[in-house]
Amino acid sequence: MPAGDQPASEPLVRRVGRLVRLPQTSSTTWHILQCSVAAGIAWLVATELLHHDLPYFAPVTATVGLGVSFDRRLRRVVEVCAGVTVGVVIASVVSLAVGTGPIQVTAMVAAAMALTLRWGGGPTLALQACTQAIAVSTLTGADGAVLDHWIDAGVGGVVALGIAVLRPPNPISLVRVQIARYLESVAAVVSDCGALVAAPSPEAVPRIDNTANDLSDAYSELAEAATESVASARQPPTYKAMRESAARVASMMDALDEVTRSTQHMVRLTTTSVRRDQSPDPAWGSLYRDLATSLRTIAARIQSSGDLEQFRTGLVAVAHQTLDVDRRHSAPVAVAALVSIRSLVIDALILTGCTEREALRLVPGMPT
């Protein structure tokens, strides 16, 4: 492959790599463990304790009930169990009465949806009722095991309910570690920009641009993990104890979204100035380096769950430095990059817990 084709293929390689790799977040691993263990326990109970020959509905109900999300998990387990029960009963009765076939399947699905929706059930309940009705009709037929199917569904539901209340140990602490690591990645991008400004090198521009663009995917993965961790923390019985921590993490994720956007904007302006041979004054590189140092310090504090207010001083110092530099002979795009540093400082201050008004008040030269 020609050397010139390599940069164009890298994004595709990264995307394929993300698709085939195993999930790395602790919350995802916990989900996999819960669903797999629930399916095994449900099957074991149905076969070894109840001596059912085809306990299909026990592991299915347990797995689908738990799903892959902590969000509204207990309600989903109840809806799935109810849907499975309705579907199993309807399909078993119809199969025993008139056998199986296209007309019978049509009638089963219509009856299952009509009953669940009439009772005020949601989409999950209706879908499960239809799915399990079809499963009974096509997999087991008129085997007369109506009670066994219903009991299996109940076993899966009970197992799912029992496991649903379990969560990773201190999910908020786990996601704070992930937030800190992500912020360190942001700091690394800012530091790379500082090195580029201090020693302009057009050859380094594509690498820095790609690294900054990758922040979007990294943030999306982090946001998903944070959502799961917050939802886990809001499950009983420890919701009250973790309520404030969960709210703080949710607030930090909103601020990190803006930090990500500001960082990418700053990178685009900085690399554009270098690409156009209109680089900022090399002395400006210290601004980027000092900002990166402040971000790393904040990241370390986030990981240790400490207060961030005392670390705003470094960010404010960077904002002051942006006013002190000599910009008289700088190109407009270089000046725009300097202004973008101030925007990133404001977003980083909000990340530490400032309101937007407080952040604007701390940054000199900003309207309040």
Query: What are the chain's domains?
Result: 22-164 (no CATH), 171-362 (1.20.58.220)
Of the candidates 326, 328, 315, the residue with the CA atom closest to the CA atom of residue 364: 315
Instruction: Report the percent of the chain where pLDDT is more than 70.
Output: 75
The three-class DSSP label of residue 51 is coil
For position 118, what pLDDT does the model report?
A: 75
Which token pair is 282? Answer: 């090399």
State the average pLDDT over residues 164-184. Answer: 76
Contact call for residues 276 and 331 (beta carbons, < 8 A): yes
State the average pLDDT over residues 24-39. Answer: 71
Question: Is 50 exceeded by the pLDDT of residue 24?
Answer: no
Any residues with CB less than 8 A from the CB of 238 and at least 6 apart, and which?
Answer: none
Of the candidates 164, 139, 13, the residue with the CA atom closest to the CA atom of residue 74: 164
Question: Is 60 exceeded by the pLDDT of residue 98?
Answer: yes
> Which of 117-126, 137-146, 152-161, 295-304 has the highest average model confidence (pLDDT)?
295-304
Between residues 61 and 164, the one the model is more confident about: 61
Any residues with CB less than 8 A from the CB of 307 and at least 6 apart, and which?
Answer: 301
For position 257, what pLDDT does the model report?
A: 92
